[in-house]
């Protein structure tokens, strides 16, 4: 690819960095280029989705049960508040320094960031379900399990998905600093400026932003697909 | 004037046209959704008319700034709408503050109005959530009255309260109105309230069209069409009793006696009187009890009568309430007393039934309706 | 992997000298209390920088979001596009945002503040909008009906009643920003992050714990102050019904 890089300024260089690669600041080797970009992007997506899945698997059932039985309101609600206060950088750094680098530890650390918003929103979403709908379901002879999965869960989808989306944004953003924990994601372009140069930094920033927006759009789409028709009508 | 909401097929209010004399209460009444609120809100331009005009004291409301106009018109909305973040005193002082009154004057005015609506001064520092629904409605009325506007718009001001307190508030408001003489547009969907509160009543039907504009008596005596007749209800004859005060009908007289009077003349009087029983009264002619035949058998009238004079009927109460008292006590007659407790006559069930069937009575009613309430 | 760390902060000569003379720091144990007593002063500047980052970002976010929300309150159709626009800014990770600004503002505290502001906007905008929307319609109708102008209704009735919701938004925004601002170190924006990614090392556990704890404490403090402010500003909510 032969683009007039200079005319785009730094953006042009970043473009070149992504599609054809540039010489490393440290000299010698070529860095960037589609294959490295795809590699790091795939890794970032992988870590993000893994951590999100772990967070959902842990927080969703907990939130459903707490919400259904109306227990642990203080815990469920303060989790969300406390979660926001965790400094992402300190969490990843401490995990890497005290527990060790590597995929498993990273996923655990990222999942910790994802759990609070999902837990809180699931709890709140379930509690917000009209109690008369639940009573009606019980009156029709549904088991508690069925009440949770057939009545409460569908009605709480928008709120729960709000929590999942918050978690996802937080996780993918933090996955950008995963190179600190030894897992190379797109954030490597940003963090290792002395290797990739400003072109690499800008390219990394653009790629991370696009990836986060794409994930958010996908989750918004998933939420739309999961929301029952009756509730969409009610909202419009 | 007319109003059609944007996007609506039909008019919410169509060709409504009437005039309210200054100092009177005009009630807009009609079924739910007939356009009463819309008509009312056009007056202070919270809803703009589609066509037509409204003038107050000869000036069209279309001229000038709507906010300015509204400060000169008291407005009590259907849902009360007190400001939850302001104390009761601040709520009442809203318009005076907008009009840049001195702080002290605003405070004094709030205190004055609190007293007027019968709330303790300490309520001034409370917040609306700390008041009962009925108290809130009174504050709503006080807030509308604060800057002493000559015109008041009241949209179901007593809608949200139980019947007992409602009737109390209605009476209180009528008492205030006798003093304040505001020109009031009063909306309700309750015919009884309309008849009780109105000097004039405008009955609206769906689409905000005027079905009848008349005095309460006119409405009850001569409904303009089937709709009004239906709306007023089959018991409109009884409703007329709510228009008359006991003191305005011809009461019967009973023979009177004081303790120590000789019995003989009393016995003679009983035989000839409309009421076949004598009343024992004190020297201020306050009734003490009904004298039985045994009481009158002796030489002179005893100190105590065989039966009490209860129930006593207040001459100022309306005929309907008088009749209710009579029926409830199971007696045929009840003494009617003035505010100082002195006998003015005797009410009987027969008086009421005669009144309802007499032609002459309806005329006296009509003239009574012209009189201001007090 | 480790080379990049050299650029994040100048190497501090005294860094690995345990002034108390124990072996805790050389062994890099999880937490060395002596480090804190000997070096608390090195955290003063980063803490102040962090406060400035958060304070400016939240203040700017509030001013912009407030203006947008009030404007969209008058022109309802703008709410959806504003929400979408601020949503995009919220979704873009701050660390990425720092460097999207690179061609425009370069590196430094200003860049970090802009990115953190962009992150804040939606949280605050959404809460102001919700707060204004939740004002009971009978109250605004009464306000209009007794002669308040539109801007008086907004200032005297709608905004005060939306206050609890607005402050709730500020609390979320502030607490999140305190945490996120640790990343400002990557944009050379200073703050407590500089004490986490210290010198040429991110493995110094005590340093990470101390800086992280200061950030958490700061978040809690901001939260408490805003909570108290709400209590003070909304006396009617305390009135027992
Ligand atoms: N803002 C509005 N936009 C469109 N239509 C309206 C609006 N307000 C009222 N309407 C319609 O105008 C008609 C009259 O409404 P209005 O509120 O004046 O009735 P009302 O007589 O006060 O009823 P109620 O006794 O229930 O208070 C109704 O059909 C109503 O649906
Ligand atoms: Mg109405």
Structural domains of chain C sorted by starting position, each given as residue range(s) with its CATH number in brackets: 45-233 (1.10.3720.10)
Q: Does residue A24 sit within a domain?
A: no
Of residues A5, A125, A2, A106, the one with CA closest to residue A50: A106
| pLDDT at res. C30 | 78
- Say whether C145 and B46 touch across the interface (CB within 8 A): yes
Does B34 sit in the ligand 1 pocket, CB within 6 Å?
A: yes
Does B257 sit in the ligand 1 pocket, CB within 6 Å?
A: no
Locate tokens 């919410």: which residue?
B12
Residue numbers of the domain that contains A46: 29-235
Percentage of chain C lying above the pLDDT 90 cut: 68
Q: Does residue A3 sit within a domain?
A: no
Strongest mean pLDDT among A28-37, A180-189, C8-17: A180-189
For residue C219, what are its two tokens? Answer: 């978040």
B94 touches chain C (CB under 8 A): yes
For residue B299, what are its two tokens? Answer: 């030489």
| pLDDT at res. B373 | 46
B46 touches chain C (CB under 8 A): yes
Q: Does residue A177 sit within a domain?
A: yes
Question: Of the candidates B79, B130, B144, which has its C-beta nearest C146's C-beta?
Answer: B144
C72 CB-side CA count, 13 A = 25
Ligand 1, atom 31, lies closest to the CA of B33
Q: Which of B37, B49, B79 to mutate to test the pocket of ligand 1 (most atoms within 8 A of CB)?
A: B37
For residue B7, give the ligand 1 atom closest to its CA: 4
Q: Does residue A48 sit within a domain?
A: yes
User: What is the CA(B43)–ligand 1 centre distance, in A?
Assistant: 15
Q: Is B252 strand, coil or helix?
A: strand
Tens digit of each residue's pLDDT (9 = 90 or more) over A52-89: 999 999 999 999 999 999 888 898 988 888 899 999 99
Q: What is the CATH number of the domain that holds A52?
A: 1.10.3720.10
User: What is the CA(B30)–ligand 2 centre distance, in A?
Assistant: 10
| pLDDT at res. C73 | 95
Does B29 sit in the ligand 1 pocket, CB within 6 Å?
A: no
Lowest mean pLDDT among A29-43, A184-198, B114-128, B346-360: B346-360
What average pLDDT score do residues C103-125 get? 94
Q: Which of residues 123-152 of C touch B (CB under 8 A)?
A: 136, 138-139, 141-149, 152
What average pLDDT score do residues C227-231 get? 95
| pLDDT at res. B311 | 82
Pairs of residues, one from chain A and one from chain C, whose beta carbons lie less than 8 Å apart:
141
Is the CB of residue C125 less than 8 Å from the CB of residue C83?
yes
C240 touches chain B (CB under 8 A): yes
A66 CB-side CA count, 13 A = 22
C203 touches chain B (CB under 8 A): no
Distance CA B63, CA B52 (A): 13
Tens digit of each residue's pLDDT (9 = 90 or more) over B230-284: 888 767 777 777 777 887 787 787 787 777 777 777 777 777 777 778 878 888 7
From residue A91, alpha-carbon distances to A105, B92, B115, C184 in Å are: 11, 55, 64, 15
Is the CB of residue A176 less than 8 Å from the CB of residue A190?
yes
Domain count, chain A: 1
Lowest mean pLDDT among A53-57, A122-126, A215-219, B291-295: B291-295
User: What is the CA(B240)–ligand 2 centre distance, in A?
Assistant: 26
User: What is the CA(B14)–ligand 1 centre distance, in A?
Assistant: 13
A216 touches chain C (CB under 8 A): yes
Question: Of the candidates B70, B85, B130, which has its C-beta nearest C147's C-beta?
Answer: B70
Protein fold of B25-235: Rossmann fold (3.40.50)
Locate tokens 């927080």: which residue?
A59
Can you give the residue ranges of every domain in chain B?
25-235, 247-353
> Which residues make beta-bridge pairs with B95?
none
| pLDDT at res. C16 | 52
A94 touches chain C (CB under 8 A): yes
- Say whether C236 and B85 touch across the interface (CB within 8 A): yes
Per-residue confidence of chain B (374 residues) as pLDDT tens digits? 667 777 667 778 888 888 888 899 999 999 888 889 999 999 999 988 888 888 888 888 888 888 889 988 999 998 889 999 999 999 999 999 999 999 999 999 999 999 888 889 999 999 999 998 889 988 999 999 999 999 999 999 888 777 777 888 888 888 888 888 999 999 998 888 998 899 999 999 888 888 999 888 888 888 888 888 888 876 777 777 777 788 778 778 778 777 777 777 777 777 777 777 887 888 878 888 877 777 777 777 777 777 777 888 888 888 888 888 888 877 788 888 887 878 888 888 888 877 777 654 454 555 554 444 44
Of residues A18, C104, A207, A26, the one with CA closest to residue A3: A18
- Band the pLDDT of C11: cuts 50, 70, 90: very low
Question: Of the candidates B81, B129, B143, which has its C-beta nearest C141's C-beta?
Answer: B81
For residue A24, what are its two tokens? Answer: 């490393």
Ligand 1, atom 11, lies closest to the CA of B12
Rounded to the nearest angstrom, the minimum Cα separation between A139 and chain C is 34
Distance CA B328, CA B324 (A): 6
Sign, Cα dihedral of B302, B306, B310, B316? negative
Do A and B make contact, counting contact as 3+ CB pairs within 8 angstroms? no
C161 touches chain B (CB under 8 A): yes
HEC string of chain A? CCCCHHHHCHHHHHHHHHHCCEECCCCCCEECCHHHHHHHHHHHHHHHHHHHHHHHHHHHHHHHHHHHHCCCHHHHHHHHHHHHHCCHHHHHHHHHHHHCCCHHHHHHHHHHHHHHHHHHHHHHHHHHCCHHHHHHHHHCCCCHHHHHHHHHHHHHHHHHHHHHHHHHHHHHHHHCCHHHHCCCCCHHHHHCHHHHHHHHHHHHHHHHHHHHHHHHHHHHHHHHHHCCHHHHHHHC
A141 φ/ψ sector (left φ>0, alpha ψ -120 to 50, else beta): left
Locate tokens 């007499």: which residue?
B358
CATH number of B247-353: 3.10.580.10
Does B35 sit in the ligand 1 pocket, CB within 6 Å?
A: yes
Lowest mean pLDDT among B254-258, C43-47, C68-72, C86-90: B254-258
Does B348 sit in the ligand 1 pocket, CB within 6 Å?
A: no
ipTM of the prediction? 0.89
What average pLDDT score do residues A222-232 get? 81
């Amino acid at each position: 690819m032969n683009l007039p890089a200079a005319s785009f300024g730094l953006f042009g260089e970043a473009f070149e960095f992504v599609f054809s690669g540039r010489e490393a600041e440290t000299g010698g080797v070529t860095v960037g280029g589609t294959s490295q970009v795809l590699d790091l992007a795939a890794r970032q997506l992988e870590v993000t989705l893994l951590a999100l899945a772990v967070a959902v698997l842990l927080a969703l059932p907990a939130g459903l049960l707490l919400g259904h039985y109306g227990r642990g309101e203080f815990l469920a609600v303060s989790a969300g508040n406390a979660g926001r206060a965790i400094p992402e950088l300190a969490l990843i750094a401490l995990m890497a320094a005290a527990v060790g680098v590597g995929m498993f530890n990273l996923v655990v650390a990222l999942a910790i960031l994802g759990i609070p918003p999902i837990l809180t929103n699931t709890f709140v979403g379930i509690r917000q379900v009209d109690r008369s709908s639940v009573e009606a379901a019980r009156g029709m002879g549904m088991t508690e399990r069925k009440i949770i999965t057939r009545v409460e869960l569908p009605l709480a989808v928008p709120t729960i998905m709000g929590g999942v989306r918050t978690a996802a944004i937080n996780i993918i953003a933090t996955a950008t600093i995963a190179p600190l924990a030894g897992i190379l994601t797109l954030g490597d372009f940003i963090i290792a400026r002395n290797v990739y140069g400003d072109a690499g930094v800008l390219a990394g920033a653009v790629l991370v932003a696009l990836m986060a927006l794409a994930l958010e759009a996908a989750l918004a789409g998933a939420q739309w697909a999961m929301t029952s028709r009756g509730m969409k009508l009610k909202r419009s | 004037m007319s109003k059609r909401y944007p996007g609506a097929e039909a008019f919410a209010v169509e060709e409504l046209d009437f005039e309210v004399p200054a100092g009177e209460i005009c009630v807009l009444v009609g079924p739910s959704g007939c356009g009463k609120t819309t008509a009312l809100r056009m007056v202070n331009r919270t809803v703009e008319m589609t066509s037509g005009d409204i003038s107050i004291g000869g000036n069209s409301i279309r001229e000038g700034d709507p906010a300015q106009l509204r400060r000169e018109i008291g407005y009590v909305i259907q849902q009360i709408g007190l400001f939850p973040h302001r104390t009761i005193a601040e709520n009442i002082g809203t318009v005076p503050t907008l009009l840049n009154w001195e702080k002290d004057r605003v405070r004094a005015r709030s205190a004055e109005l609190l007293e007027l609506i019968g709330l303790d001064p300490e309520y001034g520092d409370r917040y609306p959530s700390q008041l009962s629904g009925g108290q809130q409605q009174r504050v709503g009325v006080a807030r509308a009255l604060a800057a002493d506007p000559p015109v008041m718009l009241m949209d179901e001001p007593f809608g949200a309260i139980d019947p007992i307190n409602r009737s109390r508030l209605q009476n209180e408001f009528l008492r205030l109105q006798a003093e304040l003489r505001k020109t009031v547009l009063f909306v309700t969907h309750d015919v009884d309230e309309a008849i009780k509160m109105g000097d004039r009543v405008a009955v609206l039907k769906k689409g905000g069209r005027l079905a009848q504009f008349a005095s309460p008596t006119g409405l009850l005596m001569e409904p303009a069409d089937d709709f009004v007749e239906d709306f007023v209800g089959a018991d409109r004859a009884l409703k007329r009793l709510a228009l008359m005060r006991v003191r305005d009908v011809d009461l019967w007289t009973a023979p009177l006696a004081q303790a120590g009077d000789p019995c003989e003349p009393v016995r003679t009087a009983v035989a000839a009187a409309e009421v076949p029983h004598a009343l024992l009264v004190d020297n201020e002619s306050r009734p003490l009890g009904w004298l039985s035949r045994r009481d009158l058998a002796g030489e002179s009238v005893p100190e105590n009568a065989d039966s009490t004079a209860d129930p006593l009927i207040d001459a100022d109460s309306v005929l309907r309430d008088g009749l209710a008292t009579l029926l409830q006590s199971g007696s045929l007659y009840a003494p009617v007393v003035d505010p100082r407790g002195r006998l003015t006559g005797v009410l009987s069930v027969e008086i009421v039934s005669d009144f309802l069937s007499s032609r002459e009575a309806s005329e006296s009613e009509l003239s009574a309706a012209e009189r201001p309430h007090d | 992997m480790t080379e990049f760390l050299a650029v994040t902060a100048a190497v501090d000569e005294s860094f690995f000298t345990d002034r108390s003379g124990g072996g805790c720091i050389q062994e890099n144990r999880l937490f060395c209390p002596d480090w804190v007593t000997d070096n608390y002063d090195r955290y003063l500047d980063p803490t102040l920088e962090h406060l400035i980052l958060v304070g400016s970002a939240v203040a700017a976010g509030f001013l912009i979001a407030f203006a947008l929300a009030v404007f969209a309150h008058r022109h309802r159709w703008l709410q959806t596009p504003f929400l979408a626009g601020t949503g995009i800014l919220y979704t873009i990770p701050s660390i990425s945002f720092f460097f999207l600004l690179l061609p425009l503002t370069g590196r430094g505290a200003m860049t970090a503040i802009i990115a953190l502001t962009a992150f804040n906007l939606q949280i605050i905008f959404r809460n102001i909008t919700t707060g204004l929307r939740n004002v009971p319609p009978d109250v605004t109708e009464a306000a209009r009906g007794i002669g308040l102008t539109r801007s008086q209704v907004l200032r005297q009735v709608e905004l005060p009643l939306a206050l609890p919701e607005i402050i709730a938004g500020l609390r979320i925004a502030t607490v999140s920003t305190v945490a996120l601002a640790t990343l400002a170190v990557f944009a050379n924006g200073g703050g407590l992050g500089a004490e986490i990614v210290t010198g040429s090392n991110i493995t110094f556990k005590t340093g990470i714990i101390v800086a992280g704890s200061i950030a958490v404490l700061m978040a809690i403090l901001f939260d408490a102050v805003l909570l108290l402010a709400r209590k003070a500003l909304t006396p009617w909510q305390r009135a027992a019904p």
